[in-house]
A and B are shown apart, each in its own frame.
Chain A
Amino acid sequence: MNRVVITGIGVYSCIGKNLDEVKDSLYNGRSGIVLDPVRKQFGYRSGLTGYLEKPQLKGILDRRSRIMLPEQGEYAYMSTAEALKIAGMDHDFLEHNETGIIFGNDSTAQPVIEANDIVREKKNTMFAGSGAVFQTMNSTVNMNLATIYKLKGINFTVSAACASGSHSIGLGYFLIKHGYQERIICGGAQEVNIYSMGTFDALGAFSIRENEPTKASRPFDRDRDGLIPSGGAATVVIESLESAQRRGAKILGEVIGYGFSSNGSHISNPTVEGPLRSLNMSLKDANIEASEIDYINAHATSTPQGDMSEAQAINEAFGECRPPVSSTKSMTGHECWMAGASEIVYSLLMMQNNFVAPNINFENPDEFSAKLNIADVVKEQNIDVFLSNSFGFGGTNSSLIVRKWK
C-alpha cells in the first residue's frame, strides 16, 4: 500500500482567484455572494449567486485550446496551473512522466444551449463550430486539461452531483494507494452561468434573502432559508509518497481516509444514516479515532433539512469529542460539483496557516446544530487532521480525511 500525499493545490473561486486571496477571505470571513438582477429577469426565484470574474486566457492558451474550453474549464485551467506550479510539475515533466487526471463535473449547460440555439437558427450543425462538441460533453474538463498538459495516465470525469469533487480525490487516492498510478490531478469544476442553475432554482432550494446577499448563506443557523449557487474550480494534485520524495516535492498533507455511501432513499431529501456511514468509513480507512479529528469542514449548504441531517450525523459520529466545525459555504455559497475539491483546498489553507475559518452568519443554532462546536468566528488553532464532508443528490456521500505532513 502506498501512502498518498498532496503536493499541489490551486483554486479559482468567488472568494479569491488564487490561494493567497482565498486564504485572506477565509481568515476574514469574506463572502463572495451577490445579487444578480439578470437572474431575476431570466425567471429565477432567487437572484443570489457567487460572483467570479472570467479569467483572461488569450495570450496564455492558444486559440484551439481556448475554443474548446467551457466556462468551468477555464476556471479549472486556472486552478490547475496554480496547483501544478506548486507541485513543481511543468509541461515537460507531465508529458514524460505518467500522470492521470480525475475531475469532478456534473453539467455543462451553457455550451449545450448556445450550440443548439445556433443550429436551430441556421439549420446547419456546422455553425456550432469545432469547439462546441468538446465544451458540451460532461467530461469536458478532463478532456481539455488532459490535452493541454499532454497527460498519459488515467483520464475520466466523476459525476456525482455535489460530491463530485470529493469523490474525484477519493478515487485518485485509492488508485495511488493500491499502486495503479503514481500521481493524479484531481479536482472539481462548476459553471456559474445563468443556464446552469435554473432547474435547481425551480425546486425552491435557494435562499431568497436578496436584501442581504452576504448574509444569505447561513449554514446551521436557525434562520437559514436555502443555499446560494456558486462555482469556480479547485485542483488537488496527489501522488505516492515515494514519487513525491523522489522528486523532492514539498508535501502539503497526506490523504489518510476516504469514506463513501449511498443513502438508498429519496433523490433529494437527505438522511442521517447515509452520511454517518460515509463518515465512519473514512475514520475506519484512516485508522484513527474520532477524537483525533481537529476540524470538520461540513458539507452544510444552508438548507434547513440538509444541515439538520448532517448535524445529527456529525453529532452521532463525534459525540463528546466536539471538534470545531464550520461550513465554508457560508462564504462561498454552494460550489456544487467543485465543492468537495475546493473544501479540501480551503481546509488545507487553514491547516497551513493554523486557523479555523468562520462559519459566518451563524447567529442562532437550531436544535441539532446547538450540539456541535461551530466556529462562528475565526479561531486561531493548530489542525493536525481534518475531515471534509460532501453529499449530493441521489444520496451520494463522500468523506475525506487529511493529515498534516510532519
Chain B
Amino acid sequence: MNKEEIISKVNEFLIEEFEVSADKITPDAPLKETLELDSLDYVDLVVIIEGNFGIKVHQEDFATIRTFDDLYNYIITKSAQTTVA
C-alpha cells in the first residue's frame, strides 16, 4: 500500500468513525481538535488503526502525533516495520 492509499484509507475510517466532514481533514490540521478527541476516543482510534492495518499501536505514541500528517507517517512507518518483521 503506497502513501496515497494509506492516506485515503485513514481518512475514510476517521470520517466514518468520528463523523467529521472530509473537508476538515488536511495534512496540517490538528488531529485532536479536528476529530474532537477526548481521552476515551484514543482507545477507539487505537482499535480502528490496529483493525485496519494490522499494526500494534500504543496509546502513548499519540503524544507525538499532532497532525493528520503525523498520523499518516506513523502508520506508514509502523506498517513498514511490521512488513519487514
Contacts and interface: CB of A to CB of B under 8 A. Distances in A.
**Secondary structure class of chain B's binding surface, majority of residues:** helix
Contact of B18 (A63, A127, A129, A130): A63
Nearest to B40: A130
Nearest to A134: B40
Nearest to B41: A130
Contacts, number: 23
B40 A127 contact: no
**Secondary structure class of chain A's binding surface, majority of residues:** helix
Contacts of A126: 43, 46-47
A64 interface: yes
Interface residues of B, number: 12
Interface in B21-45: 38, 40-41, 43-44
Interface in A100-132: 126-127, 129-131
Nearest to A68: B40
A129 B19 CA distance: 17
B19 A63 contact: yes
A129 B38 contact: no
Interface residues of A, number: 9
A51 B43 CA distance: 34
Interface centre among B18, B40, B51 (most CB of A within 10 A): B40
Contacts of A62: 19
Contacts of B18: 63
Contacts of A63: 17-19
Contacts of A129: 43-44, 47
B52 to A, nearest CB: 13
A59 to B, nearest CB: 10
A127 B54 CA distance: 13
B40 A64 contact: yes
Nearest to B43: A130
Contacts of B41: 64, 130
A66 to B, nearest CB: 10
B79 to A, nearest CB: 19
Nearest to B46: A126
A278 B51 CA distance: 54
Interface string A36-62: 000000000000000000000000001
Interface string A59-96: 00011100100000000000000000000000000000
18 contacts: A62-B19, A63-B18, A63-B19, A64-B38, A64-B40, A126-B43, A126-B46, A126-B47, A127-B50, A127-B51, A129-B43, A129-B44, A129-B47, A130-B40, A130-B41, A130-B43, A130-B44, A131-B44
Interface of B: 17-19, 38, 40-41, 43-44, 46-47, 50-51
Given A63-B19, A130-B40, A130-B43, 20 more contacts: A62-B19, A63-B17, A63-B18, A64-B38, A64-B40, A64-B41, A67-B44, A126-B43, A126-B46, A126-B47, A127-B47, A127-B50, A127-B51, A129-B43, A129-B44, A129-B47, A130-B41, A130-B44, A131-B40, A131-B44
